Amino acid sequence: MADDHEHEGASVKEQLIEACRRNNVDLLHEIISNCKSDEEISNLLNNTTTVMGNHLYHEAALQGNYEIIDTLLDQPDFECDPLNRIEGDTPLHSAIRWINSEPPAQRDFGNALVQMMLEAGSSTRVRNKAKLTPYQLVDPANKPLRDLIQKHEYAELNAGDFVDSDPPPAAQSSSKDKKKTAAASAFVDVRQEDNDDDDDDAEFSGSDDEERAEWERRRKAKGR
């Protein structure tokens, strides 16, 4: 197995971490070539972490290492959204942190890196321990990157990848019932108001002589 190999005194996992930090594609290919199956490759690349709890993908993203990330993403069943232990960041969060720390001249390169990660399957919706999505980490001055992420989110929405924001049928029914009740109440209120206005024209239904006399007086007064 690849885990049994050592290179210049370092374990395979230590070599992998170093390869991702240093953008050493040749070393990564060498390690992968010693694996006996796709399952072994996937297990090694997805489960190797640093003492700080970063996955290989985080380590590469924190350095903006385009070539090593491109190679990792080509591997079988590679996990695009692992979470690191301290911040709960995905590699996309990590890449954006790196871009924010770089001078503006690096933004085009950094944005191209993010675009590759998005196209490979990185999610823009995962929130870290601070409840922030990758988009919310972007420097507001980096409008092209904000636009890139929003465009990707819009494409996901059109593809039906987002959770439907409509309430479930039961909630919809409840909402409709409330509207019906409100409409019925309004209808009753209007009818009641109309009846109040027409009281003088209504036929008298009582039997008390004084009430009858008052009713007759009102009718005569209206006829003047």
Let me know whether 38 and 96 are in one domain. yes
Let me know whether 179 and 204 are in one domain. yes
* In-domain check, residue 63: yes
pLDDT in tens, the chain (224 residues): 444 444 557 899 999 999 999 999 999 999 999 999 999 999 999 999 999 999 999 999 999 999 999 999 999 999 999 999 999 999 999 999 999 999 999 999 999 999 999 999 999 999 999 999 999 999 999 999 999 999 998 887 877 544 443 444 443 333 333 333 333 333 333 334 444 444 444 444 444 566 566 666 666 665 55
Q: What is the DSSP string of 84-119?
A: -TTT---HHHHHHHHHHHS-GGGHHHHHHHHHHHHH
Let me know whether 211 and 151 are in one domain. no
* In-domain check, residue 164: no
Let me know whether 14 and 41 are in one domain. yes
Let me know whether 48 and 125 are in one domain. yes
* In-domain check, residue 89: yes
Let me know whether 93 and 196 are in one domain. no
Strand-pair category, 6-7 with 10-11? antiparallel
pLDDT for 223 equals 57
Let me know whether 151 and 174 are in one domain. no
* In-domain check, residue 193: yes
pLDDT for 41 equals 98
Helix axes 56-63, 12-22, angle to 10 degrees: 20
Let me know whether 154 and 52 are in one domain. yes
- Cα(39)–Cα(76) distance, integer angstroms: 8
* In-domain check, residue 163: no
pLDDT for 157 equals 80
pLDDT for 24 equals 98
- Cα(177)–Cα(171) distance, integer angstroms: 10
Q: Which of 158, 185, 213 is the last residue of a domain?
A: 158
pLDDT for 10 equals 83
Let me know whether 136 and 36 are in one domain. yes
pLDDT for 181 equals 37
Domain membership of residue 41 as a residue range: 2-158
Instruction: Identify the CATH number of the domain in which residue 36 sits.
Output: 1.25.40.20
- Cα(70)–Cα(65) distance, integer angstroms: 9
Let me know whether 189 and 214 are in one domain. yes
Sign of CA dihedral 34, 40, 41, 43: negative
pTM higher than 0.85, yes or no? no
Let me know whether 137 and 206 are in one domain. no
Let me know whether 153 and 173 are in one domain. no
CB 204 within 8 A of CB 211: yes
- Cα(111)–Cα(102) distance, integer angstroms: 12
* In-domain check, residue 184: yes
pLDDT for 210 equals 63
Q: Is 166 left (phi over 0), alpha (psi -120 to 50) or beta?
A: beta
pLDDT for 122 equals 96
* In-domain check, residue 47: yes
* In-domain check, residue 187: yes
Q: How many domains does the chain have?
A: 2
CB 131 within 8 A of CB 89: no
